[in-house]
């Protein structure tokens, strides 16, 4: 997913505020699911499930600044019947420089309680 850093995403030093990288990871994850044929909102609306973040990790390599063009990449790192792990790379789209990398681990919830990944989503999340 490509986009430009907005002024509101920067801090007083002119660099992107650290929490925005997690937002960009969410954008990459949502688009990854969409490209693979499933929309997050359909999981929530049709199946009444929530794919909740259980853990998040981000490593900062270099700063992004206002108006930089960003490329946020998401990929399926590991699928398990109880937990899905997504990996991310946030890059400067013009130079290819790695700005941040990380991962998030997710569990499915139904009525607020953890459940195994439903059969209809196992192929999508690499569970065989």
Catalytic residues: 11
Residue 58: what are its φ and ψ, rounded to 5°? Answer: -140, 130
Paired tokens of 20: 């925005």
Residues 126/119, Cβ–Cβ less than 8 Å: no
């Amino acid at each position: 997913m490509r986009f430009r850093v907005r002024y509101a995403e920067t801090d007083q030093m002119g660099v992107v505020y650290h929490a925005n990288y997690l937002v960009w990871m969410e954008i990459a994850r949502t688009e990854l699911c969409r490209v693979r044929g499933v929309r997050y909102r359909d999981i929530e609306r049709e199946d009444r499930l929530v794919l909740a973040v259980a853990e998040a990790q981000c490593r900062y390599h270099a700063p992004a600044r206002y108006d930089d063009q960003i490329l946020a990449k998401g990929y399926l790192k590991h699928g398990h019947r109880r937990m899905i792990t997504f990996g991310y790379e946030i890059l400067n789209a013009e130079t290819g420089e790695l700005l941040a990398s990380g991962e998030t681990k997710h569990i499915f919830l139904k009525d607020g309680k953890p459940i195994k990944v439903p059969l209809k989503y196992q192929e999508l999340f690499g569970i065989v």
